[in-house]
Amino acid sequence: MAAICNGMFAYGGCRPYCASFLNFAGYALGAIRVSALSKFGVLYIMTHDSIGLGEDGPTHQPVEMLESLRSMPNVNVMRPCDANEVSAAYKVGMECAETPSVICLSRQTLPNMPGSGIDKCLKGAYVIHQEGRDEDVGLVLVASGSEVGLCIDAAKALGQKGVKTRVVSMFCMDIFNTHTAEYKKGVFLNGIVPCVSVEASSPHGWNKWSHAQVAMNRFGASAPAAKLFEKFGFSVGNVCEVAEKVVGHYKGRHCPNLFDVVE
């Protein structure tokens, strides 16, 4: 399918799209790489993007595919958290004629988030929710896709405990990396506030944007999505527990600056 889409794009006259489960992008990586090398703006619509797939089990649940695709040059890997961000993903895909787009979509239903917006997504990452004033924020939670809503719920719970929290939606790392250091530092509060990333996928790559990660370090399992998220730690209770440990660890200590490394 992916190779055929490359041929259609090369021939011209249309913008082809290729659709499958995200885990099966593994079968298409060679052709996706050709899209990137050849500057073919093919749209790859990859659904069932996490353990939220459920009973089909670990053979169908991607845990390493996001990192694999994100490591490929000239590919925009987007993981929307709601319908507004999906609209942004299609806008990016249609406007980037020389860059293939991989739009990673969940199986589970996701509500629209009050703080989301199409224009905000065009910078790759943005503040979608915050408890308290900027100067009072003691923690940043950053997530993509279905885990953004989880982080907003966790932020509200942490706020009741006195930990004022900012939530960042990491819509697309590739796009975010193209923006100025000033903008990136603004989103992450200069990189000196403790930050925890939450994504139901491999933790690799998230150390650039967080001091600790709630992620998948093993293959998934076969069970209803809600049970799987609870089992693997993608719950409000576990996110709050990890967050409080990180905040406690850096209390009275120097928190490593996420932007100390020169890009």
User: What are 88-116's pLDDT values in tens digits?
Assistant: 999 999 999 999 999 999 999 999 999 99
Residue 2 pLDDT exceeds 70 = yes
Proportion of the chain above pLDDT 90, given as a percent: 97
22-75 confidence digits (pLDDT tens) = 999 999 999 999 999 999 999 999 999 999 999 999 999 999 999 999 999 999
CATH number of 2-250: 3.40.50.920
Residue 223 pLDDT exceeds 90 = yes
Confidence of residue 263 (pLDDT cuts 50, 70, 90): low
Q: Which ranges constitute the DSSP H helices of 57-180? A: 65-70, 83-95, 118-121, 147-160, 173-176
- Which of these, 149, 131, 163, 128, lies nearest to 250 by C-alpha position? 163
Averaged pLDDT, 233-255:
96
What is the residue-averaged pLDDT of the chain?
A: 96
For the chain, the structural domain boundaries read: 2-250
- Please tell me the pTM assigned to this model: 0.95
Tokens of 15: 């913008």
Confidence of residue 228 (pLDDT cuts 50, 70, 90): very high
Residues 13, 40, 175: CA angle, nearest 5 degrees: 125
Confidence of residue 260 (pLDDT cuts 50, 70, 90): confident
* Run of H or E residues at 101: strand 101-104
